[in-house]
């Protein structure tokens, strides 16, 4: 079974968490944490680097010892050291670290003194009021633990970006109307367009005496006010999402926006650069560290802040410390794709299967978005729950599209299908009908449980069929609901590249599949992607922007995406 980077990272993170609970040397703990991050952020699989006999110590933060451990994991699937640790410290104990207020020391106490091994034990002990009597704990912390456990179990720890938007947009509008408020902006992971957010970080500037904090904590959707101050307050909304509001002076607006946009790792790296030039960057501005009067030399805008360290503006989606600072320094930042670059959508359903709009409605909607083409891709027969098309019904739809085409001069309806990839890798419809289409997207809808090598083989076999063009939602994950099936994505991408196929970046906000790392992996390989909405009704076509965000997080430019091409050019790409 091939070992993915995420598997290795998970093992290292687990080691770090356990070491922390054991009270190990902080440098040692950090080494494992950093290694986990480094590996997670690698676009190439570490296992394949080993195959190519590459020296893993080239990777930042990986020394001989960690390189040997990685090799052990790749070879055996686990790490003996971790197994040994788990004998003395139960593995689920690390879940307790997610509870705010519980650090490693307290977790160790809970384990030693009350025999607590996991979150469930913790909840039970809290309900039985056993925790308050422990030294250094108390009643308040016990109650807080209960609340936190509740939150963890009722809603996943992170909120999907689209859901966060539904909360952030009205809240932002509400704050914008408060007397004296000048600017309101949502920073944090929300601004970086991460697929999920932990909480919302809102910044505001306002005139003296504005009642913004009172109005914030009085917002109708508030379930709980966590803290309230002059410059910073926190609330928990009814849906469970936490929101922090910070009020900053106008002169610090850019510095604060920069600081609270993060990511933390990006900020730290830039701050370190600044420190070398005796500059200090914080949420109030940029200051000359050597000057007596700590004069502020920048802060009103983000551009100003970047300029002090001689960097161009770096788009928020790139600020993850994944090489963007180095790229900015050498002038090689990508020119990121924007919504306007998209000329059409290549994955859409109609009421012929499980869609809810008619073919005409879908075409009209695509035209009104300014597109020049739309690919119609119904499910195929195997997907019975969606009323998938058999050969006869697909042929009927082909005729219907032919009839409709004449009505829309200058707009192209691409005849396609979302053909099911069977367990053996064959396609769910005969070549004789597939060849009548302009293109196909292929997708896995069953047997998500196949082992990685089988699943990978299955998909590559499907791509062997020369009618196969685009692999739809390549990992099958549903954010917060269903894990991706295990495949060797790199291998699939190479196979696609060799065969003239493409992968989809599915823009549905609960899919966003490929993820940002995979997008970047594709780019580095030279594999082009299609950003598609998989719309099941006219409104679904508008999800394109989520795909754009994800693509931007994956460093993609217009050129990396096939549905930015003009009809004629796209047609060539879809001819294998
Ligand atoms: P999230 O909420 O988990 O999705 O992720 P973020 O990135 O929104 O993180 P959050 O809400 O903890 O903090 C918002 C931003 O504030 C973060 O991206 C960077 C900044 N920040 C927070 N804590 C620190 C810190 O300790 N050091 C630095 N340099 N920046 C921080
Ligand atoms: Ca946040
Ligand atoms: Ca926050």
Mean pLDDT across 2-24: 86
Sequence-separated (6 or more) residues with CB below 8 Å from residue 49: 56
199 alpha carbon – ligand 2 mean position (Å): 4
What per-residue confidence (pLDDT) applies to 1? Answer: 56
Please report the atom of ligand 1 found closest to the CA of residue 268: 29
Rounded distance from Cα 254 to ligand 3 centre (Å):
18
Q: Ligand 1 pocket: which residues have CB below 6 Å?
A: 188-189, 194, 197-199, 201, 259-260, 262-264, 267-268
Ligand 1, atom 21: closest residue by C-alpha: 264
Residue bearing the CA closest to ligand 1, atom 10:
188
Which residue has better confidence, 99 or 143? 143
Q: What is the CA radius of gyration of the chain?
A: 26
Tell me the backbone φ, ψ of residue 397, rounded to 5 degrees.
-65, -35
Architecture of domain 5-155: Orthogonal Bundle (1.10)
> Which bin fits 390, alpha (ψ -120 to 50), beta or left (φ > 0)?
beta
Q: What's the CA-to-centroid distance between 115 and ligand 2, angstroms?
A: 34
Distances (CA, A) of 447 to 206, 423, 425: 56, 7, 12
User: Hey, whose CA ends up nearest to atom 17 of ligand 1?
Assistant: 262
Query: In this predicted structure, what is the pLDDT of residue 64?
Result: 94
Average confidence (pLDDT) over 373-398: 95
pLDDT recorded at residue 425? 98
Which pLDDT score, from 0 to 100, does residue 147 have?
83
d(CA 87, CA 523): 43
Could you state, in order of their start, the residue ranges of all structural domains in the chain? 5-155, 159-247, 266-330, 339-574
Q: Which helix (H) or strand (E) holds 227?
A: strand 222-228
Burial of 549 (0-12, 13-18, 19+ CB in 10 A): buried
The yes-or-no verdict on residue 179 having pLDDT over 80 is yes
Q: Is the pLDDT of residue 12 over 60?
A: yes
The minimum-distance atom of ligand 1 relative to the CA of 194 is 4
Q: What is the pLDDT of residues 14-62, one digit of tens each?
A: 999 999 888 899 889 989 988 887 887 777 889 999 999 999 998 878 9
Task: Name the closest ligand to CA 272.
Answer: 1
Residues around the ion ligand 3 (C-beta < 5 A): 199, 201, 244
Cα–ligand 2 centroid distance for 80 (angstroms)? 36
Ligand 1 atom nearest residue 262's Cα = 18
Give a three-class secondary structure readout of 378-440. Answer: EEECCCHHHCCECHHHHHHHHHHHHHHHCCCCCCEEEEEEEEEECCCCCECCCHHHHCCCCCC
- Which tens digits make up the pLDDT trace of 521-553? 999 999 999 999 999 999 999 999 999 999 999
Measured from the alpha carbon of residue 196, the closest ligand is 1
Is pLDDT at 506 greater than 90 in this prediction? Answer: yes
Nearest CA to ligand 1 atom 5: 189
Q: Which atom of ligand 1 is nearest to the CA of 271?
A: 29
Q: Kindly report the protein residue whose alpha carbon is nearest to atom 26 of ligand 1.
A: 264
Supply φ then ψ for residue 276, to 5 degrees. Answer: -65, -25
Q: What is the pLDDT of residues 451-485, one digit of tens each?
A: 999 999 999 999 999 999 999 999 999 887 777 99
Task: Among 156, 167, 188, say which to mutate for ligand 1: greatest number of ligand atoms within 8 Å of CB.
Answer: 188
Q: Name the percent of the chain lying above pLDDT 90.
A: 77
d(CA 548, CA 556): 9
Report pLDDT for 6. 75
Query: pLDDT tens, 279-295?
Result: 999 999 999 987 666 78
Question: Which residues, in sequence order, are CB contacts of 553 under 8 Å at separation 6+?
Answer: 192, 193, 194, 317, 318, 320, 516, 519
**Cα(400)–Cα(403) distance, integer angstroms:** 5
Mean pLDDT lowest among 12-21, 137-146, 152-161, 491-500: 152-161
pLDDT at 541: 96
Q: Is the dihedral of CA 58, 62, 68, 70 positive or negative?
A: negative
CATH (one of 3.40.50.980, 3.20.20.140, 3.40.50.10440, 3.90.340.10) for 339-574: 3.20.20.140
Sheet holding 279-282, edge to edge: 279-282, 285-288, 296-298
Residues 6+ apart with CB under 8 A from 559: none
How many residues does this entry show for the chain?
576
Best mutation site among 186, 201, 271 for ligand 1, i.e. most ligand atoms within 8 A of its Cβ?
201
Average pLDDT over the chain, rounded to an integer: 93
> Atom 24 of ligand 1 has which residue's CA nearest to it?
264
Instruction: For domain 159-247, give the CATH number.
Output: 3.30.460.10
- Among candidate residues 71, 49, 67, the one with its CA nearest the CA of residue 57: 67
Give CA–CA dist 357/306, Å, rounded.
47
CB-neighbour burial class of residue 310 (10 A; exposed 0-12, middle 13-18, buried 19+): exposed
Q: Residue 149 has what pLDDT?
A: 81
The secondary structure element, H or E, covering residue 443 is strand 441-443
Q: How far is the CA of 23 from the centre of ligand 2 (A)?
A: 28
Q: What are phi and psi of 279, to 5 degrees?
A: -115, 145
SS3 315: coil
Distance of CA 121 to the CA centre of its chain: 32
Q: Are strands 502-506 and 529-532 parallel, antiparallel or unpaired?
A: parallel
**Given 3.40.50.1370, 3.30.210.10, 3.30.565.10, 3.40.50.300, which CATH number is that of 266-330?**
3.30.210.10
Single out the residue of 206, 165, 217, 201 nearest to residue 183, CA to CA. 206
What 3-state DSSP class applies to 309?
coil
| Of 91 and 387, the one with more pLDDT | 387
User: How many Å from the N-terminal Cα to the C-terminal Cα in the chain?
Assistant: 32
**101 Rama sector, left if φ>0, alpha if ψ -120 to 50, beta otherwise:** left
**Closest C-alpha to ligand 1, atom 27:** 264
pLDDT of residue 238: 82
Ligand nearest to the backbone CA of 269: 1
Q: How far is the CA of 552 from the centre of ligand 1 (A)?
A: 20
Whether residue 154 is predicted with pLDDT greater than 60 in this model: the reply is no
Residue 432, φ and ψ in degrees, nearest 5: -55, -30
Looking from the CA of residue 188, the nearest atom of ligand 1 is 8
What is the CB neighbour count within 10 angstroms for residue 22? Answer: 13
Give the model's pLDDT for residue 34: 83
pLDDT tens digits for 64-77?
999 999 999 999 98
């Amino acid at each position: 079974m091939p070992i993915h980077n995420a598997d290795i990272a998970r093992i290292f993170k687990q080691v770090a968490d356990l070491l922390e609970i054991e009270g190990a040397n902080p440098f040692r703990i950090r080494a494992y944490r950093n290694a986990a991050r480094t590996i997670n952020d690698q676009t190439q699989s570490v296992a394949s680097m080993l195959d190519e006999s590459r020296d893993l110590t080239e990777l930042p933060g990986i020394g001989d010892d960690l390189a040997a451990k990685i090799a052990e994991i790749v070879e055996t699937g686990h790490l003996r050291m971790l197994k040994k640790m788990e004998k003395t410290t139960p593995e689920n104990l690390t879940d307790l670290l997610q509870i705010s207020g519980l650090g490693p020391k307290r977790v160790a106490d809970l384990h030693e003194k009350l025999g607590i091994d996991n979150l469930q034990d913790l909840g039970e002990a809290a309900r039985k009021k056993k925790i308050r009597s422990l030294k250094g704990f108390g009643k308040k912390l016990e109650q807080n633990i209960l609340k936190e456990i509740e939150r963890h179990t009722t809603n996943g720890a992170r909120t999907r970006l689209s859901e966060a938007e539904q909360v952030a947009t009205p809240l932002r509008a509400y704050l914008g109307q408060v007397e004296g408020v000048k600017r309101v902006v949502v920073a944090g992971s929300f601004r970086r367009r991460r697929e999920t957010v932990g909480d919302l970080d809102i910044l505001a500037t306002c005139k003296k005496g504005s009642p913004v904090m009172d109005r914030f904590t009085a917002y109708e959707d508030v379930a709980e006010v966590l803290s309230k101050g002059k410059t910073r307050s926190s609330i928990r909304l009814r849906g469970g999402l936490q929101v922090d509001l910070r009020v900053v002076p106008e002169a610090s607006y850019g510095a604060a926006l920069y600081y609270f946009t993060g990511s933390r790792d990006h900020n730290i790296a830039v701050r370190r650069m600044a420190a070398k030039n005796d500059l200090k960057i914080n949420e109030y501005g940029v200051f000359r560290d050597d000057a007596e009067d700590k004069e502020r030399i920048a802060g009103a805008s983000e551009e100003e802040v970047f300029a002090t360290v001689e960097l161009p503006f770096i788009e928020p989606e790139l600020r993850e410390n994944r090489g963007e600072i180095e790229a900015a320094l050498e002038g090689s930042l990508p020119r990121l794709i924007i919504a306007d670059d998209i000329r059409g959508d290549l994955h859409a359903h109609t009421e012929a299967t499980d869609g809810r709009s008619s073919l005409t409605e879908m075409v009209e909607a695509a035209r009104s978005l300014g597109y020049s083409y739309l690919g119609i891709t119904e499910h195929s027969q195997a997907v019975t729950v969606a009323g998938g098309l058999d050969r006869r019904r697909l042929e009927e739809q082909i005729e219907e599209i032919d009839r409709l085409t004449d009505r829309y001069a200058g707009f192209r309806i691409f005849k396609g299908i979302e053909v099911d990839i069977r367990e053996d890798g064959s396609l769910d419809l005969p070549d004789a009908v597939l060849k009548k289409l302009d293109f196909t997207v292929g997708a896995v809808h069953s047997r998500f449980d196949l082992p990685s090598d089988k699943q990978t083989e299955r998909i590559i076999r499907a791509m062997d069929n020369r009618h196969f063009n685009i692999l739809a939602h390549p990992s099958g994950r549903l954010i917060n609901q269903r894990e991706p099936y295990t495949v060797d994505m790199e291998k699939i991408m190479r196979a696609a590249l060799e065969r003239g196929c493409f992968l989809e970046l599915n823009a549905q906000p609960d899919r966003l599949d490929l993820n940002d790392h995979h997008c970047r992996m594709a780019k580095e390989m030279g594999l082009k992607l299609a950003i598609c909405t998989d719309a099941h009704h006219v409104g679904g076509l508008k999800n394109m922007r989520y795909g754009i965000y994800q693509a931007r997080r994956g460093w993609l430019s217009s050129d990396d995406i096939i549905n930015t091409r003009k009809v004629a050019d796209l047609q060539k790409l879809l001819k294998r």
